[in-house]
Amino acid sequence: MVRVRFAPSPTGHLHLGSARTALFNWLFARGQGGTFILRIEDTDPERSSRSMEESILRDLKWLGLDWDEGPDVGGPHAPYRQSERGEVYREHARLLVEKGLAYPCFCTPEQLEEKKRRALAEGRSPLYDGSCRDLSPGEIRRREAGGERPALRFRVPEREIAFQDLVHGLVRFPVGSVGDFIILRSDGRAGFHFSVVVDDATMGITHVIRGEDHLTNTARHLLLFEALGYPAPMYLHHSLLLGPDGGKMSKRHGATAVREYREMGYLPQALANYLALLSWSPPEGREVLDLGELVELFDIGDLSRSPAVFDRERLDWLNGKHLRRMPLEELVRVAGPFAPRWSGHPLFPVMVESVLDNITNLGELPGCLEAYGEPVEPEERAAEWLRGEVAAKVLEKAAQLLREHDIRSLEDAQEAVARLRRAFAGHDLKPKEILMPLRVALTGRDRGPALHYLIYVLGREECLRRLRLERGA
């Protein structure tokens, strides 16, 4: 059975690129009837925090991604936080020491930094030079008795490493491209590579789906799987998420965290839909897809190696499509928090419907609904529509029609607008010349919701009041 994992570090909010990795894993697991595991890589206590972990879990749930095993739901391989799995790592490290595949390293951070600096200055790869590789047992005991606390390094064999990646094909690492690396730090905490492999092995991970920035790490991981006697999973390294300038997606490109897009009013189904389309194309040209449709259509084998460039305009387009795809009742529910001034209005659903074609995200909703507030002093461009004999006649006729006909429904308002147009049918006027004076008189603006929505929501008496104020009647 397919078993995949998403293993974020709780050192910051969920990045769009990380969310895309989680989504690919989740879609693959759900499409294959497999298991999706959430594992927290928090072995760096200085940078990790429980609040960031909670933020990541919250954003994943908001996107609609659930997990079968994880820190909050448990599972047969608990615990799912690396900070709570220290004994598991130490047990596996002892196994490597017994096999002669790991050795203590007494080099200090300062010494290692100096070796790295010297190697780079000489044009060499800054691999560990093996200073402690062949220390005698007596030397090791003497140094430990003297209070030195060694790290534990993996003894890398001198041979080529190769594997078949599901996106990149055959990947080779030549002899000498990987140096002996730390598996346990001097304080006993597991190193990144070691904890990842031990967790993947003991949790039965069958496929590792991650960004191509981890491609070079795979050489170390394969060596560890072999040394520990576990079968290696299949690997797939997808393209990274890039900004419009071709650089790795970062703050200079604008918002990068899922949380930021949630707060701006993007829909979770739209963001998930967009992230899935980066490196993957659905069959038959279908683009607007909810999670259920994505699970049905997504094929991990169709992921492209091409760079995935984040295009905010494309996301806006998709989000608009999803907004207009939602049942109005559900849309009103999620829109309410973005427009608290209006959400309690009895006609709020009508107001939302009236501006739906004018917004790409719910954060734009309050600005579009301002037309329903008190009229503003028209700007010069808008004020032009109130000048002249035609405007005066239009406003007078609109007031007459509103006095003669009640507005009890949206259909009544549509009929009022139609009557106004018919009243000037023989005057050789453009529709704007008839309707724009009324719009500006009611709102002070020359743009906004369709006129019949304005008339219905404001109501007959309020419309007449505003027309009296405008006409000085």
Q: What is the DSSP letter of 248?
A: B
End-to-end alpha carbon distance in the chain: 78
DSSP string, 87-124: HHHHHHHHHHHHTT-EEEE---HHHHHHHHHHHHHTT-
Burial class (CB in 10 A: 0-12, 13-18, 19+), 414: middle
CA-wise closest residue to 430 among 442, 421, 417, 439? 421
| SS3 call for 82 | helix
DSSP string, 356-372: GGG-SSGGGHHHHHGGG
CA-wise closest residue to 306 among 182, 167, 122, 170? 167
CATH superfamily of the 85-238 domain: HUPs (3.40.50.620)
CA-wise closest residue to 208 among 167, 264, 254, 262? 167
In angstroms, rounded to a whole number, what is the distance separating the alpha carbons of residues 43 and 192? 8
- List of residues 6+ apart from 419 with CB closer than 8 A: 401, 405
In angstroms, rounded to a whole number, what is the distance separating the alpha carbons of residues 156 and 262? 45
Tell me the pTM: 0.92
Residue numbers annotated as active site: 251
231 neighbors 6 (Cβ within 8 angstroms): no
271 neighbors 315 (Cβ within 8 angstroms): yes
> In order along the chain (473 residues), what is the average pLDDT of each group of 10 residues?
97 95 98 98 88 96 98 97 97 97 95 89 87 93 93 96 96 94 95 97 98 96 98 97 83 83 98 96 89 96 91 96 96 97 97 96 96 91 92 94 94 96 90 94 94 97 88 55
β-bridge partners, 337:
none
What is residue 284's predicted lDDT score, i.e. its pLDDT? 79
CATH for 374-471 is: 1.10.10.350
> What does the domain layout of the chain look like in residue ranges?
85-238, 374-471
210 neighbors 237 (Cβ within 8 angstroms): yes
Query: Distance from CA of residue 333 to its chain's centroid?
Result: 22
DSSP string, 147-167: T---EEEE---SS-EEEEETT
In angstroms, rounded to a whole number, what is the distance separating the alpha carbons of residues 38 and 207? 14
